[in-house]
Amino acid sequence: MHDDALLAQFLLKPSAEMLSTAEVMRTFVDPADIEQFWLREYLRGFVDAGAGKVKFVKGRSGAGKTHWLRHFGVTAEEEGYLTIHVDACKQRLASIDELYRAVSLAVPWNDVLDRCTLSLIRDQLGYPDFGQPVGQFRAWAENTQTRNPVSLMNDVRTAADRFVRDLDIYAALKEPLRTSLVRRTGGELVDESILLNWLSGQKLNKQEKRAILVPVNIDRKNARAFLVSLAALVRVAGYRGLVILVDNLQVMCHTSRLEGIPYYTRAMRDQAFEMIRELIDESHRAPGIFVTFAGENDLFENQKTGFAAYPALWLRIQTEIMTGQVNRFTDIVDLDRIWREKDLNRLKGLWVTRGTAVELGGDYAIAQPDGFELGSSSVRRLVVTALAGADRDGSGQPSTQQSDMRRANPWSVMGGL
């Protein structure tokens, strides 16, 4: 899409998927200081101490859910967490193995394994000063530490055995991990594509499984164990934990098929809700994992296809007592309710300065233009109003481009609705 057309689309319907990461950071407002609360109580506290947690973000289209997730993801990365974004519009999440595959496909496996190898070298082999790429360790040890090659590799294998044995990970993962650590420490140029495919959830044939010494493929029976093992590896690799951010989960409650978007039958939807329920119940056994699911109101409130239709899940997450004050400990963050006047004023102030200088075309897919409706979020309408007044000529009147946009979309000027 041409840049001008892309900007025109954004000015009509602001969408966080279209923003660059820098723009997300510049235009973010933290309503009710929820992100700061999560940062303090969870990322620097509960989760960092080795616990797990599942949270939810809800709101109408345009309420800021995706903006929230993208900004929180950057915040988590700055805190030292490995952050994974999953878009439910692109990947089906009807079972735990599908969730694991969606997560693992975004994991930088070579980086994680290299970090684990570096931990092995520094902590197990006793070379804390080693700061080169792990593939150069063997040459470094032989040349600068005058290590005998045979003795060195014997020590490496012994240390790798001890390193893997002490890890609280799924048993089927230990032998291929040990082999990979030895190869990386020894600087062997070995094709590990089969291992990386397996870790990413791909099914291997018998010959491929024998090649990396694994007895099983990743499926519904063991995917939860692999997800927890991933969090353990991430922490050993030097990250503080694993943050998983799942957006657009409302697709689960759609009753009509849309091209290119996963469709859920009732059985698949119930299975997905049960998976989420199990994640909540087993969160104390998932150290270092913080999961956030975000979706529109229908996902939570629809009595036939939403969370409310699955009591085993709904009873665990619903907020029973509603007050005028914001309860930051609640599991569901309702963006429609927590936007306060001072936050909205600050948001408008940030956007009124952007005009046509907004940076688009980030790492996320372009949102589909579906226009405005009466039920569209007040946050989105506020941003449209701010942008409509941001690009004026010397006479103080809206530019021709802005006028054309207003005629094309009358709701864009009704920010007070």
Residue 154: inside a domain, yes or no? yes
Range(s) of the domain holding residue 237: 28-94+227-338
Q: Do 156 and 240 share a domain, yes or no?
A: no
pTM summary value = 0.89
C-alpha of 92 from chain center: 15
The answer on 262 and 306 residing in a single domain is yes
Domain co-membership, 231 together with 309: yes
Tell me the DSSP string of 215-248.
-----TTTHHHHHHHHHHHHHHTT-S-EEEEEE-
**Contact criterion met (CB below 8 Å) for 260 and 92:** no
Sign of the CA dihedral running 85, 251, 201, 123? positive
How many Å apart are CA 65 and CA 296, to the nearest integer? Answer: 9
Residue 136 Cα distances to 121, 127, 141, 365, angstroms: 11, 13, 9, 39
Closest CA relative to residue 332, chosen from 365, 378, 301, 288:
301
- Sign, CA torsion 97/103/106/110: negative
Using DSSP, state whether 82 is helix, strand or coil: strand
CATH number at residue 264: 3.40.50
Is the confidence at residue 216, as pLDDT, over 90? yes
Written as six digits, the tokens of 168 are 């609280």
**Residue 289: strand, helix, or coil:** strand
User: What's the pLDDT at 391?
Assistant: 54
Residues 177 and 129 grouped into a single domain = yes
Residue with tokens 């975004």: 106
Distance, CA of 98 to CA of 218 (rounded, Å): 10
The verdict on 160 and 245 lying in the same domain is no
Of 299, 242, 257, 304, nearest to 276 (Cα)? 299
Separation between Cα atoms, residue 379 and residue 339, nearest integer Å: 8
Judge whether residue 392 has pLDDT over 70: no
- Asked if residue 237 and residue 327 are part of one domain, the reply reads yes
List the single range of 146-160, 230-244, 270-284, 386-400 with lowest mean pLDDT: 386-400
Name the least confident of 70-74, 119-123, 185-189.
Answer: 185-189
Same domain, 239 and 330: yes
**pLDDT, tens digit (0-9, with 9 covering 90-100), for 85-102:** 999 999 999 999 999 999
Q: Is residue 67 within 8 Å of residue 374, measured between CB atoms?
A: no
pLDDT at 307 over 50: yes
Residue 106 CB partners (closer than 8 Å, separation 6+): 84, 85, 86
Average pLDDT in the chain: 87
Beta carbons of 328 and 55 less than 8 angstroms apart? no
Distance in angstroms (rounded) separating the CA atoms of residues 122 and 139: 16
User: What pLDDT score was predicted for residue 404?
Assistant: 45
User: At which of 314, 338, 362 does a domain end?
Assistant: 338
Q: Is residue 81 part of a domain?
A: yes
pLDDT greater at residue 375 or residue 317 = 317
Shared domain check, 371 and 323: no
Helices of type H across 86-147: 96-104, 109-119, 137-144
372 Cβ partners below 8 Å, 6+ apart?
A: 13, 380, 381, 384, 409, 411, 412
pLDDT on residue 321: 67
Residue 160 DSSP SS3:
helix
Tell which of 282, 306, 338 closes a domain: 338
Residues with Cβ within 8 Å of 210's Cβ and at least 6 positions away in sequence, in order, are none
Q: Which of 102, 107, 104, 99 is nearest to 275 (CA)?
A: 99
Q: Is 18 a residue whose pLDDT tops 80?
A: yes
- In a shared domain, residues 329 and 234: yes
Mean pLDDT of 233-247: 96
Looking at the structure, tell me whether residues 84 and 146 fall in a common domain. Answer: no
Tokens matching residue 185: 């420490």
Beta bridge partners of residue 292, listed in sequence order = 55, 245
pLDDT in tens, 117-167: 999 999 999 999 999 999 999 999 999 999 999 999 999 999 999 999 999
C-alpha closest to that of 95 among 248, 270, 251: 270
347 found inside a domain: no
The verdict on residue 131 lying in a domain is yes
**390 phi and psi, to 5 degrees?**
-85, -25
Six-digit token pair at 260?
A: 């290119």
102 within a domain of the structure (yes/no): no
Q: How many domains does the chain contain in total?
A: 3
| CB neighbour burial string for 358-367, b if at least 16 within 10 angstroms, e if fewer | bebebebeeb
263 token code pair: 């469709």
Q: What is the pLDDT of residues 252-293, one digit of tens each?
A: 999 889 888 999 999 999 999 999 999 999 998 899 999 999
**230 contacts 103 by C-beta, under 8 angstroms:** yes
The Cα–Cα gap between 46 and 50 comes to: 7
Residues 168 and 317 in one domain: no
* Together in a domain, 89 and 232: yes
Q: Name which residue leads in pLDDT, 377 or 401.
A: 377
Which amino acid is it at 301?
E
Q: Which of 143, 138, 154, 118 shows the shortest CA–CA distance to 187?
A: 138
Asked, for residue 122, whether it belongs to a domain, the answer is yes
**Last residue of some domain: 308, 338, 368?**
338
